[in-house]
Structure 1
């Protein structure tokens, strides 16, 4: 019988994984805490910031990867992100894992109404933020579509099947988490080595910041 502890024995979290999480700030929560997220908290700092237990993050990453691998056709997995910081990561995740990206503004009744041209019959829904993506999560519950989401310390867990505790508000943290998940999806069935693509390809970069850096480089030359 499969258990989380057995999965951790087979795919343990390595030191380099921990260092990546710490560098990206995956463990850093907020000052607010939803009561359902208490089980994923390691401790609370003196400044009021909650620290997420990275072991629980790893456990849920493996569980989410197994759920995605169980879907025979990867295109039946829908990925959605209403937040700009999560869209680059979701685009990369969809490209790596073969999932279907629902880009742009989510059209109401995409999952529940079979008449509109925008109707999509999904078997699994993955979102970046339960608050920002509450509409697709709610609709998924109407038609019994399983859901996976990155959850911050203050995220509500309504209509959630697998919650991955992490800092989903950070561009680097969210990008790294989706990169980890994508390569676990390919690594579990032995499709590919998980280190072939660097995680920074999943990071969101502000266009204005890129322009500023380019100007500074030109001025120095």
Structure 2
């Protein structure tokens, strides 16, 4: 069953949406916690696609995968569907399955209509106006000015340079450091 889970669908027989499933497979036990709770109370086996942060209580079989990405969930459902077909004997391991994992992704039909573009507009051509076009032609040429540090250009960098202190390095440990303050 896809979509929103109605609480009591497995436990309340008086509801119109009451169901008695033989197996429940959930994509995320954290977000489907109500279905997980009810399935465990009526002893329905539960298979869950779990990430490292998914709760494993009341889960019978764990399929470790990334259950936060829609693409990885689609690939896992594709693998499950392919294996179920092979277990039923509908396919063999030697033949290729013509169904692509892309078919397990939900695509909004309205969004697809908006994304359709004219083939004339689909061509990408760089547009560089005026003076920028001349500069773009010379990008591969060596720079006219030498590239280096400020010291190579004869410009002193203020605030950087040797700091006055006691001479002698580590061998002058007896000197009082407060004399230079």
Distance 2:120 2:104 in 1: 26
Greater length-normalized contact order (CA 8 Å, ≥ 6 residues apart): 1
Distance 1:219 1:135 in 2: 49
Question: Compared with structure 1, are the counterparts of its residues 109 and 213 closer, same or farther at alpha carbon in structure 2 (3 Å cutoff)?
Answer: same
Which residue matches 2:139?
none
Answer yes or no: is 1:204 the counterpart of 2:106: yes
TM-score, normalised with respect to structure 2: 0.59
Which residue matches 1:219?
121
Which residue, out of 52, 63, 71, partners 1:172? 71
CA RMSD of aligned residues (A): 2.3
SS in 2 for 1:149: strand
Which residue matches 2:83?
184
Distance 1:162 1:119 in 2: 24
Which residue matches 1:153?
52
Aligned length: 120
Which residue matches 1:118?
17
Question: Compared with structure 1, are the counterparts of its residues 210 and 113 closer, same or farther at alpha carbon in structure 2 (3 Å cutoff)?
Answer: same
Distance 1:128 1:121 in 2: 19
Q: Which has the larger radius of gyration?
A: 2
Question: Compared with structure 1, are the counterparts of its residues 103 and 219 closer, same or farther at alpha carbon in structure 2 (3 Å cutoff)?
Answer: same
TM-score, normalised with respect to structure 1: 0.49
Please state which structure has a larger fraction of its residues in strand.
1
Gaps of 5+ in 2: 124-181
Answer yes or no: is 1:137 the counterpart of 2:39: no
Deviations 1:47-106 (A, max 9, x none): xxxxxxxxxxxxxxxxxxxxxxxxxxxxxxxxxxxxxxxxxxxxxxxxxxxxxxx23321
Q: In the TM superposition, what are the counterparts of 1:3-152 in structure 2 within 5 Å?
A: 102-152=1-51
